[in-house]
Amino acid sequence: MTEPEEPKTNRQICRMHCPDCTTFKENNLKFAATHDLYCVHGKSEVAEYSIEKGCNCLGCELFSREGLKGGWFCLYGLAGKK
């Protein structure tokens, strides 16, 4: 019998999406102090120097589960892109 899978943490879920996103890669967001869960913690410290490319948040479980809006939280903070 196989063990039931542990539910994924929010961080694990985020890391299935943000690191593959073109905005994340283009701006090397992985090197900033905050590099995941922007929809919870707010925008990246380097947001003002970053350029907007794609966003994978719309495909993320947290996005639908929490009824989030906007996306691009790494650039625009908790409110997301207007």
Question: Which stretches of the chain bind ligand SF4, using CB under 6 A?
Answer: 13-14, 17-18, 21, 23-24, 29, 37-39, 55-57, 60, 62-63, 68, 71-74
Q: How far is the CB of 33 from ligand SF4 (least distance, A)?
A: 14
Least Å distance, CB 77 to ligand SF4, is 10
CA distance 67 to 82: 15
CA dihedral 62, 13, 42, 18 (to 10 degrees): -110
> Which CB, 4 or 7, lies closer to ligand SF4?
7
As a whole number of angstroms, the distance between CA 24 and CA 2 comes to 36
